Amino acid sequence: MTGASEWAGTMLLRPGVMVLTGDVGATTLHAHHSVQVLTSESRFAIGDAYGNTTTCRAVVVPPNVRHRVVHGAAASTVVHVAPEASAVATLCPDRGDTVDGWVRAGSLFLSGPIGTADLVAGLGGHADETGHPAVRRVRAELPGLLADGPVRLAAVALRVRLSESRLAHLFAAEMGLPFRAYVRWLRMQQAMRLVAAGRSFTEAAHGAGFADSAHLNRVCHSMFGAAPSDFGRLRWVDELP
- When mean pLDDT is compared across 2-6, 61-65, 79-83, 117-121, the lowest value belongs to 2-6
Helix (H) or strand (E) holding 4: none
pLDDT at 198 over 80: yes
- Tell me the C-alpha distance between 95 and 42, whole Å: 25
Give the pLDDT band (50/70/90) at residue 177: confident
Strand partners, 44: 56
- Tell me the C-alpha distance between 11 and 236, whole Å: 5
The pLDDT, as a whole number, for residue 119 is 74
Looking at the domain that runs over 9-126, which CATH code has it been given? 2.60.120.10
Tens of pLDDT, residue by residue over 124-137, are 544 456 689 999 99
The pLDDT, as a whole number, for residue 154 is 96
Tens of pLDDT, residue by residue over 30-85, are 998 889 999 998 999 999 999 999 999 999 999 889 999 999 898 899 999 887 77
- Which of the two residues, 155 and 197, has the higher pLDDT score? 155
Task: State whether residue 67 is helix, strand or coil.
Answer: strand
The pLDDT, as a whole number, for residue 53 is 97
Task: State whether residue 82 is helix, strand or coil.
Answer: coil
9-14 vs 235-237, strand pairing mode:
parallel
Helix (H) or strand (E) holding 74: strand 73-81
- Tell me the C-alpha distance between 40 and 57, whole Å: 5
Q: Which residues of 208-233 are buried (b: 16+ CB within 10 A; e: fewer)?
A: bbbeebeebbebbbebbbbbbebbee
Q: Which residues of 15-37 are buried (b: 16+ CB within 10 A; e: fewer)?
A: ebbbbbbbbbbbbeebbbbbbbb
pLDDT at 1 over 50: no
CATH 3.40.50.300 for domain 133-231: no
Residue 137 CB neighbours (<10 A): 14
pLDDT, mean over the chain: 84
Domain map (residue ranges) of the chain: 9-126, 133-231
Percentage of the chain lying above the pLDDT 90 cut:
43
